[in-house]
Amino acid sequence: MRMPLDKAAQIIQMLCEGCGIRTVERLSGINRHTILDLLEVVGPKCQDFLNTNIRNLKIDSCQCDELFGFVHCKEANNRAKNPEHGTQYIFLAIERVSKLILTFCVGKRDAETAATFMADLKKRIEPDSQLTTDGFRGYLNAVYDAFAHRVQFAQQMKTYFNYGTPSGNVPKQRDPHNHPRYSPEGVRTVKTEIHIGNPEREKISTSHVERTNLSVRLFERRMTRLTLGYSKKLQNLIYSTALFACHFNWVRVHSAHGQTPAQKAGLTDHAWTIEELLQSE
C-alpha cells in the first residue's frame, strides 16, 4: 500500500485499542476505505503469522470457549438466511499460564465449526495435552475426530442465577437498574465431565478463556455489544480477529505476568512493536 509504515502502525494501534473504523478515520485523517484496505492486507498476514509460529507447543493446559457476535444484521433480520450474515461466534483457545491465544475460528455455533476449530487446534499443541471446553455438545465429536485418544479432555458446565432468582425458586423484586441479561448475578453450579484420559482436576477450568473473552470485547470494536461497530462483512471480522490475536500475543503486555503471552510461552524474548509485527515474516 502507498502508506508510510509509521502511519500504518498508528492505524493498527488504534484498531487494536478498540477504536472503530470511523473513529480511526477522524483521528488519523485517512479515509475509511483505505483503513479497510489496510485491514484486508494485514489480516491475512496475521493469519499466516499465527499459522507459522504457533505449532506443536508444549503447554500447561488449553481452555476453549465461544464468543457471541453478529455480522451485517441480527439473525432475526437475516431473512435471506445468508450463512455469512446474522449470528456468528468466535471460537477461542488459550493456554492457561501464558494466556497465549493458540487459535481461533469464526462461524456458526455448530458441529461443523467446532470440528474445524479442533482440527486446527490439534496442529498447535503437542499430543496428550490437557484440554477443557465449556458444555457445548458439538465439541464431543470434534475432539474425538481431531485427537482420538491423544488428549486429556474434560468439559466444565456452569449455570448462572437468572433474572434475580438466586435460589431458582423465589424471585426477588426486580431492580430497574440491574440488567441480568448482560450481567448474570453469579455462578449457581459448576459441573465437570471427563471424557478422555485423566486430566488434572485442578487445571479443569474455563475461567481464563472467559476472561480473555472480556478482552476481546474491550479491544475488538466489532465485538462490543449494543453499538454500531459490528462487522458488515464476515471476512473483515476474521481479519480483525487475526489482527487482535497477533497484537494480544506479541505486542500487548499481559497484567497476569508482566510479559506478552508470546514471551511467557517462549516464542520471543521481548515485547514487539507494531512496526515489528507489520514487518514480520
pLDDT at 182: 62
Query: pLDDT of 16-25, one tens digit each?
Result: 999 999 999 9
pLDDT at 173: 53
Region label for 199, one of left (φ > 0), alpha (ψ between -120 and 50) or beta (otherwise): beta
Query: pLDDT of 157-196, one tens digit each?
Result: 988 776 444 444 444 555 555 555 566 667 888 999 999 9
Mean pLDDT, rounded, for 140-155: 96
Whether the predicted pLDDT of 257 surpasses 90 = yes
Query: Which CATH class for the 5-279 domain?
Result: alpha beta
Report yes or no: 110 and 134 within 8 Å, Cβ to Cβ.
no
Say what the pTM is: 0.91
Query: pLDDT of 41-95, one tens digit each?
Result: 999 999 999 999 999 999 999 999 999 999 999 999 999 999 999 999 999 999 9
Measured CA to CA in angstroms, residue 127 lies from 137, 146, 268 at distances of 22, 11, 23
Mean pLDDT, rounded, for 224-229: 90
